[in-house]
Amino acid sequence: MRFHFAVPVALALAGCASLRYAPADLPAGASMQQVQSQLGEPTGRYPRPEGGERLEFARGPYGRHTYMVDLDAGGRVLQWTQVLREDVFNEVAPGLSASDLRYKLGRPAKQFGIWRGATVWAWRYETPFCQWFMVTVEPSGVVRDAGYGPDPICEVNEKEETR
């Protein structure tokens, strides 16, 4: 007996049909309920320094977009932005706290430990090159350095192409 994946996949996709990948038509002043009906449950929530909340909608780990929707204290949309961009990455500097890094970029696509307890956080993003943005976070929770490097999925693709 063969199991067909088409039926479960179609049912799963039908359940998500009303959700959108991006908040393209989300107006300022929209309610939290409107945000969630368009984008689903947030993948992160962060208090805004000015009051209100920032909602993260990460489209990863292989996605190349993370949308941040800023809400005022009344739960209404102030603005939204796609944060996985080089101009935003270039604002990441040594000394930034890990919590401020999460507020700025959202959850990373991948985290892995390196020597002396430090951790590398990496984000995929839209680029013509097969690279990602990486940040080293010290055990104390502070950014040590940041930069761009080759995305390991490229190595897998290259190996398959040479077969």
Domains annotated on the chain, with CATH? 18-82 (3.30.1450.10), 85-163 (3.30.1450.10)
The torsion angle over the Cα atoms of residues 103, 89, 41 and 7, rounded to 10 degrees, is: -160
In the predicted model, is pLDDT for residue 66 greater than 80? yes
What span, in angstroms and rounded, lies between the C-alpha atoms of 128 and 146?
A: 20
Give the per-residue pLDDT at 154.
Answer: 85
| Of residues 134 and 163, more confidently modeled | 134
pLDDT grade, residue 13 (50/70/90)? very low
Give the per-residue pLDDT at 101.
Answer: 98
Is pTM beyond 0.85? Reply is no
